[in-house]
Amino acid sequence: MKAKIASLLLVGGLTAALNASAFEPNKPTCIAPAKPGGGFDLTCRILSTGFANAGLTDIPMAVTFMPGGVGAVAYNYINSTTPDDPNKLVAFSSGSLLNIAQGKFGQGLDENDARWVGTAGVDYGAIMVRADAPWNNLKELVDDIKKDPSKFVLGAGGGVGSQDWMKAAIVVKSAGVDPKKMRYVAYEGGGEASAALLGGHIKVYPGDVGEMKGLLEAGKIKVLGIMSPERLKGEFSKYPTAIEQGFDAEWTILRGYYLGPKVSDEAYNYWADQFKKAYNNPAFQKAVADQNLVPFTMSGPALESYIKERVGFMRGLAKEAGLIQ
């Protein structure tokens, strides 16, 4: 009898050990921390369809929604309820990182309370004006802003302190104007902001490259500068970057995924490896391109240290702009 129990225990222990060394996901899900249809939804869809089409998962991963505070609700949920669940990947964006930097992700939570594991891709900020606006490049626009910053209305799809506001602040700052003097109008999302630009209620909209395709093709707006480190490829290659035009205005919108802070190293490495495989797989690359994102391939510890550096950089920006002490 005793021997039987012992052998049972032994077998049990062995299987447990085997399981630990070869982590296998069990019904993995992607949590989109926003309402359906937005950027986080698309981020999760890239993971879900991209991984399935690349053969990295048998069936497309389920996507669930947990809206609130650009990811704050999901961040708190993961930390308080399932910090060690290896089957829950949560989408994040630079907007989430910016809020972490400002301490808006809940009390006592910062960038160390998640395991940043993989990326979907990046999008870049773009400074846009209406097609019939008098400025043809960033310099003409900035010269006009300098003349009387208080008369110049910028607007975008997020409140003060959001990444849309940050883009506007960076542009204004690169013109040598104090961002606090900027006249900024906050809209609910990029859709409302681009409507306000077309209607002439705001003069400049620092939005994202990916979302502007339709309006650009129709010739309703023009891009004065793209906030990427170098020129984009493909159809956007004809637009100059802000840096080319002599302005230190760069904003990368990173989209990616994190796991709970107490997820085991085995599971973390498993997912990091899967991302590495995905980055080189044409099916995943297509899923990324379909959502108008530019490939950005970083995973595992490399991503972890990159994220921490970014949050630190954002903290500095937020202090400078007087958002936090």
Partner 1 sequence: MDVLHFLSIGFSVALTPINLGLVLAGCFFGTLIGSLPGIGPINGVAILLPLAYSIGLPPESALIMLAGVYYGAEYGGRISSILLNVPGDAGAIMTTLDGYPMAKRGEGGRALALSAVSSFFGSMGALLLMVIFAPLLSRLAIEFGPSEYVWLMIFAFTCLATMVGKRPIKTIVGVVIGLLLATIGIDSGTGILRFTMGIPNLFDGVDFLVVVIGMFAISEVLILLESWARNDLKMTPVGKSFVSLSDMLAVKWVVLRSTLSGFLIGVLPGTGASIASAVAYGTEKRFAEGNNEHFGEGDIRGLAAPEAANNASAAGSMLPMLTLGIPGSGTTAILLGALLMFNITPGPLLFEQQPQIAWGLIASMFIGNIALLIMNLPLIGLFVRLLSIKQSYLVPIIVMLTFVGIYSIHGDSFDLFFMIGLGIFAFILRKLGFSLAPVILGLVLGEVLEENLRRALSISGGNWSILLNGTMTYILAIATVAALVAPKLIKKFKK
Residue ranges binding partner 1 (CB under 8 A): 35-38, 41-42, 45, 49, 60, 63-69, 72-73, 75-77, 104-107, 150-151, 153, 155, 158-162, 165, 183-189, 191-192, 194-196, 198-202, 213-215, 217-218, 220, 290-291, 323
In angstroms, give the least distance from the CB of 175 to partner 1. Answer: 19
In angstroms, give the least distance from the CB of 159 to partner 1. Answer: 3
Residue nearer to partner 1 on the CB measure, 308 or 324: 324
Angle, helix 163-174 to helix 138-147, in steps of 10 degrees: 80
Residue nearer to partner 1 on the CB measure, 199 or 282: 199
Residue nearer to partner 1 on the CB measure, 146 or 286: 286
Residue nearer to partner 1 on the CB measure, 34 or 272: 34
Q: Which secondary structure element, helix H or strand E, spans residue 311, and what is its range?
A: helix 300-320
Report the candidate in 126, 257, 308, 87 with the shortest Cα–Cα distance to residue 204: 126
In angstroms, give the least distance from the CB of 14 to partner 1. Answer: 37
Residue nearer to partner 1 on the CB measure, 168 or 298: 168
Compute how many other C-beta atoms are within 10 angstroms of the C-beta atom of residue 65. 16
In angstroms, give the least distance from the CB of 54 to partner 1. Answer: 16
Using CA atoms, how far apart are residues 19 and 22, in angstroms rounded to an integer?
A: 5
Residue nearer to partner 1 on the CB measure, 12 or 316: 316
Residue nearer to partner 1 on the CB measure, 8 or 213: 213
Using CA atoms, how far apart are residues 35 and 148, in angstroms rounded to an integer?
A: 39
In angstroms, give the least distance from the CB of 234 to partner 1. Answer: 14
In angstroms, give the least distance from the CB of 228 to partner 1. Answer: 20
Q: What are the tokens at 60?
A: 């497309």
**Is 188:239 a contact under the CB 8 Å cutoff?**
no
CA 225: distance to chain centroid? 20
Using CA atoms, how far apart are residues 29 and 47, in angstroms rounded to an integer?
A: 10
Q: Euclidean distance between the first and final Cα of the chain, in Å?
A: 67
Report the candidate in 30, 108, 16, 18 with the shortest Cα–Cα distance to residue 63: 30
Q: What are the tokens at 190?
A: 């990029």
In angstroms, give the least distance from the CB of 190 to partner 1. Answer: 9
